[in-house]
Amino acid sequence: MSRGGADRPAAPATLDDTLAWAFALVARGVADRRHPFHTPALATIGLDGAPQSRTVVLRGLDPAARRLRLHTDARAGKVAELAAEPRAALLFYDAGAQLQLRLSGRATLHRDDAVAGEAWATSRDFSRMCYAIQPAPGQPVPAPPAAPLDSAAGRPHFCVVILHLDRLESLHLAASGHRRARFDWDAAGTLAATWLVP
Ligand SMILES: Cc1cc2nc3c(=O)[nH]c(=O)nc-3n(C[C@H](O)[C@H](O)[C@H](O)COP(=O)(O)O)c2cc1C
């Protein structure tokens, strides 16, 4: 897709269509490993209160429930951060669509439940292997550790992060005028949507 050519999709004209477009592109990010939305940045609040961000793979989306699924190592810094402060944000940018999405909500952590079991069962062996690394991620070591060989050893460290969305903000860049919109869901799931000045 070109960055500004005639083949670029027109900006959605309504808030409803903007939200539907945003979720459709996030769904593509789950399904298509080459799509820019496949690897958003996850932002958390560090244990010292400072912001932290890192690239993650987007593994799942349930648009009706407004839930996104990520996989990580239970020993990683982000897990301790989310356990202490579940508020988190995901940042996406698709240069082809000229669309930025800022998603935020609260994270729940899943290690020993059905959510984790199903995600592990459907993970590829190559992905499972990541969680078998020793020692724990983020530890200082004198030299890079050897790649793990036994993927089953990763299961005790496997952790699913579910982000329960309560806000989605979109910014679509266009020569005809940038469009920024915000969508907020309250605790009952009622949506409030508004355009914002870009
Ligand atoms: C392309 C890419 C994809 C990544 N995907 C994940 C992922 O899905 N889950 C994850 O925990 N870390 C992933 N990482 C590694 C993180 O960016 C980060 O380095 C690591 O998780 C440690 O972060 P933390 O110490 O803040 O927990 C990925 C890194 C890159 C470059």
Domains and CATH numbers, the chain: 15-196 (2.30.110.10)
Buried/exposed code over 36-62 (b: 16+ C-beta within 10 A; e: otherwise) = bbbebebbbbeeeeeeebeebebbbbe
Atom of ligand 1 nearest to the CA of 72: 11
* % of the chain at pLDDT higher than 70: 95
Beta carbon of 39 within 6 Å of any ligand 1 atom = yes
Q: What are phi and psi of 99, to 5 degrees?
A: -125, 125
Beta carbon of 53 within 6 Å of any ligand 1 atom = no
pLDDT at site 11: 77
Beta carbon of 58 within 6 Å of any ligand 1 atom = no
Q: Evaluate whether 120 touches 177 at the Cβ level (below 8 Å).
A: no
CA of 91 to the centre of ligand 1 (A): 14
Is the pLDDT at 2 greater than 70, yes or no?
A: no
Please spell the DSSP secondary structure of 128-195, one letter per residue: HHGGG-SS-TT---SSPPPPP--GGGGGGGEEEEEEEEEEEEEEE--TT--EEEEEEE-TT--EEEEE
DSSP-derived letter for residue 33 is: T
Within 10 Å of residue 87's Cβ, how many Cβ atoms?
14
Q: Whose CA is nearest to atom 6 of ligand 1?
A: 56
Q: Evaluate whether 79 touches 149 at the Cβ level (below 8 Å).
A: no
Beta carbon of 55 within 6 Å of any ligand 1 atom = yes
- Report field, pTM of the whole predicted structure over 0.75: yes
Tell me the C-alpha distance between 124 and 104, whole Å.
Answer: 28
In this prediction, residues 71-90 reach a mean pLDDT of 98
Q: 3-state DSSP call for residue 43?
A: strand
pLDDT at site 4: 43
| Lookup result for tokens 């919109």 | 181
Beta carbon of 75 within 6 Å of any ligand 1 atom = no
Average pLDDT over the chain reads 94
Tell me the C-alpha distance between 25 and 172, whole Å.
Answer: 13
In this prediction, residues 161-172 reach a mean pLDDT of 98
Whole-angstrom CA distances from 73 to 125, 159, 161, 188 are 15, 6, 10, 32
